[in-house]
Amino acid sequence: MEISGLQFIGYTKSGKGHDQFYGINPKTNKNIKPVFLEASKEEIKNACDLSVNAFYEFRKTSSKNKAEFLNEIASEIDKLGNNLIDLCSMETGLSKNRLIGERARTMNQLSMFADLIMEGNHLDARIDTAIPGRKPVPKSDLRQMQIPLGPVGVFSATNFPLAFSVTGGDTASALAAGCTVVVKANPSHPETSELVASAIVSAAKKTGMPDGIFSMIHGKSNHVGLSLVKHPAIKAIGFTGSFKGGKALFETANLRKEPIPVYAEMGSVNPVFILPDALKQKTADIANGLVQSVTLGAGQFCTNPGICFSINSDARNDFLKKLKHNIENNTGNVMLNERISNSYFENIEKVKNVHGVKLIAEGKTIASKCSSRATFLDISYVDYEKNTDLKNEIFGPSTLSIKLNTNQEFYDAARKLEGQLTISVFCTKKDIQEFKELIYILELKAGRLIINGFPTGVEVCHSMHHGGPFPATTDSRSTSVGTAAIKRFLKPICYQDFSQDLLPDALKNDNPLNITRLVNGKLTKDKIKVNGE
């Protein structure tokens, strides 16, 4: 029996615990060697202790050296070549083309954060110079900036084994902030996690980063993850996954002697509002786009459009016919693992048995224990509102179409929505004039509003916000995608009456970093003149 057991720079390939597990090929449902062991209490403690020790050194590292480290990680990931793609595809069932794109996204976001910290505005430097002669009370010299929060625990997602995993957005943004990281590897792709972790470790060595800047622990049980959250060295958590999992981590973090923030992205149903004139004018396009969005990647996206509101009309009847045709010609794919597949079919059966739910169409399935099958269902708005279970996310390729009888029900439905990652609105200029107040309601319900488009596909850029009000996330102010993600792992510090030699470079009068700062209420890159200079 082959057991993985290498450890370096705090990176744990396997633990000394008792529970064993394998990666599993979802296409064959067979184990993939090597066998992995859950991290023991000692190893979890060791990883966290290494992380906190490294943090005190890493936080003093220059932005230039941090950027070099991030870019080197991207380079090392690229060097893994086809081996990474082949192995990841075997562990997840995802296509190689999909994974090639995801690898590029992973590398690009590392480079994006490297550029961000070199530019320096994430420090949010603010300076109010002293007015010693002010009456009746002199004004002190006050200067503020953002500094790293501390060691961060990151939980890898199942559905994005590269972009939201070991070196995904949480890890990239935490390292960019100057935080050290302990990753809880996802048991659905353990060997992929090993390869990516080795790239981080190699980059750390090449760029002279401190031992313990990055650690990784394995485990299938809840114990491993909860132990990470409970360790006093950890100062924040990044998580992408289920509502149940994210809520458990959030509650555990709040029960600590020192509560810490948990930035959990927990998914949503991502409602689609199809307004009357758009439904009439764009029936076929919307129907085709909805099916493509719902079935993309076997529906295993946190932005999968799970419910769709439209008003009862001839156009809606035509819309359902087109959906039926498209779905019945769709062939399913393997899902990430057998547990996810079983959960999907169980949830679909529960929904089918809800009063008022009608089956529009089902797609074809494949012979696999990890199979999926596209499913479109229909229900009236009155019956929908009677059953709260219909408002829960179903992870997989399904959508519930909801029939409204009046325009007012668009507003009612919008006001009753829980927090969402995304909300899409299909409309024409005529619709906008008639429903202009709808947008104001939806702004309070989602992290991203989309006009005439579907939510699958999250652009990694400065303006992206991938978050939303609870229960989509535990903090609607935070994003897990885009450069604003770095804010999660920074804290403000104010320096009062510090001499120039004691101040960090970002706050010195001569502005050695050449960054934009808020000086006495005005944004500027200029040096600060003192005593009439």
Active centre residues (catalytic): 265, 302
Distance, CA of 30 to CA of 77 (rounded, Å): 27
List, in sequence order, every residue forming a beta bridge with 522; answer none if it has no partner. Answer: 519
Greatest CA separation for the chain: 82
Helices within 81-187 (DSSP H only): 81-92, 96-119, 169-177
d(CA 336, CA 473): 23
Element of type H or E holding 436: helix 436-442
- Can you give 356-400 as a three-state secondary structure string? CCEEEEECECCCCCCCCCCEEEEEEHHHHHCCHHHHCCCCCCEEE
Look up residue 340 and give its amino acid.
Answer: I
Q: How wide is the angle at C-alpha 300 spanned by C-alphas 331 and 400, nearest 5°?
A: 75
Q: Which residue bears the tokens 């498209």? A: 326
**Are 400 and 374 contacting, i.e. CB atoms less than 8 angstroms apart?**
no
327: helix, coil or strand? helix
Q: Rounded distance, CA 411 to CA 416, Å? A: 9
Residue linked to tokens 């008003």: 311
